[in-house]
Each structure stands twice: as C-alpha cells, then as structure tokens.
Amino acid sequence: MTSPDAPTPATPRVGIVMGSDSDWPVMRAAAEALEEFGVAHEADVVSAHRMPQEMIDYGREAAGRGLSVIIAGAGGAAHLPGMLAAVTPLPVIGVPVPLKYLDGMDSLLSIVQMPAGVPVATVAVGGARNAGLLAVRVLAATDPALQERMSAFQETLREAAHAKGEVVRREAGGTAPRVGF
Ligand SMILES: Nc1c(C(=O)O)ncn1[C@@H]1O[C@H](COP(=O)(O)O)[C@@H](O)[C@H]1O
C-alpha cells in the first residue's frame, strides 16, 4: 500500500510508446535521457497493428492528459509513429527500431516517408537517446530552466570534443592546428 506521505508522481510531459516490449532495450535510452533532465515521462506498449483502437485512444487523449511530446518507436513495418501523428496535434518523434533483418532500413523508411501534412520527426535507426534529447529541446523552447540545462549539456559535449582533439593532436605528433583558437 502506498504511504499517505509518498510524493505524488509528476504528470508525465513526454509519452514514450513502442510497438512491443522487444523494443524496450532500444527505447529505454529515450527514458534515460529524459531522466537526466528531470523530465517526467511515461512508457508503454501501444501497437497500431495489434491494438489499433487502444493506439487511437492513446493518441487522441495524449494532449488532454498533459503530454506535450510523444516519442514512438517501432520495428519493421513501423506504422505506429505515423498513425499517432494522424490522431494527435502533439509533435511525434519516431524512432526506427532495428530488427534481425534489413538493419532497420524497413523501420526507417516506414517512419520517415510521411505524407505532406502529417510530420513525424524521425531520428536515426536506434537513435532513442536523440529522441529523448529532442523532446527535451521541444519542452525547453518554453521552459527557460530546462533550456539552461540543455545549454549546460551542450557545453559538456563541446568539452568532450576538445578532449578528443587533444588525443588526436598528441598521437599525430603535435603538427595539427588547434581548432577554434
Ligand atoms: N511496427 C510495429 C507495430 C506498429 O507499427 O503498430 N506494432 C508492433 N510492431 C513491431 O513489431 C516488432 C516485433 O514485435 P514482437 O517482438 O512483439 O514480435 C517490434 O519491433 C514492434 O515495434
């Protein structure tokens, strides 16, 4: 039983859905990115092919429940992201999940080739972390504190890239110029 003093969980701002639990090992990277930025989220299995009515209900109710962004991952004939985009006004970020055959090209093309008027922001095959980071950026556009955290994160990327340059310059024997100085 939940203790009466237990904190109430925050209303999710990002919904992460996937066609099957077999997608979770890829899709969990989106949840981890959102956790890093303290963004409340939910995750579930919602399949356009296997549970069409529930998929439509999820998409139709998402905005009213307080979600601002949906991240949808699926493999193979990946119709889930596009079908959700058809029934919600929220931005949908699609994650092509690679399966055993075709290296995820099937999911990528299924998700990215949307007809005009129904956009899905598609990340790279298996790019669930970028999907999480893109959702953070969408929210950060109207949330100055979150935007500051995103800028700080970008600064860590810059520092890491400089450190990589340091390694290459050292190994190359010190003849390469320092980029940006
Ligand atoms: N592409 C879709 C959809 C959909 O788009 O509605 N529903 C399930 N699937 C995909 O089928 C693959 C195999 O699923 P199983 O592992 O359950 O057989 C998963 O990658 C899932 O995303």
CATH number at residue 120: 3.40.50.1970
Structural domains of the chain, count: 2
Q: ipTM, 2 decimals?
A: 0.98
Dist. CA 17 → ligand 1 center (Å):
11
pLDDT for 9: 76
Q: Are residues 148 and 130 in the same domain?
A: no
74 pocket-lining for ligand 1 (C-beta < 6 Å)? yes
With a 6 A CB cut-off, is 114 part of the ligand 1 pocket? no
Residues 122 and 162 both lie in one domain? no
* Residue 150 belongs to a domain: yes
Are residues 44 and 109 located together in one domain of the fold?
A: yes
Quick check: is 177 in a domain?
no
What is the spatial distance between Cα 64 and Cα 178, in angstroms, rounded to a whole number? Answer: 51
pLDDT of 8: 73
Same-domain check for residues 166 and 135: no
Q: pLDDT value at position 142?
A: 97
Asked whether residue 3 is domain-assigned, the answer is no
**In testing the pocket of ligand 1, which one of 17, 20, 102, 125 has its CB within 8 Å of the most ligand atoms?**
20
Same domain, 96 and 163: no
Whole-number pLDDT of residue 140: 98
In a structure prediction context, what are the per-residue pLDDT tens digits for the chain, which is 181 residues long? 556 677 677 899 999 999 999 999 999 999 999 999 999 999 999 999 999 999 999 999 999 999 999 999 999 999 999 999 999 999 999 999 999 999 999 999 999 999 999 999 999 999 999 999 999 999 999 999 999 999 999 999 999 999 999 999 999 986 556 665 5
State CA 152 to chain mean position distance: 19
Query: pTM of the prediction?
Result: 0.92
Vertex 53 angle, CA 102 and 56, to 5°: 75
**DSSP 3-state assignment of 42?**
strand
**Does residue 76's CB lie within 6 angstroms of at least one atom of ligand 1?**
yes
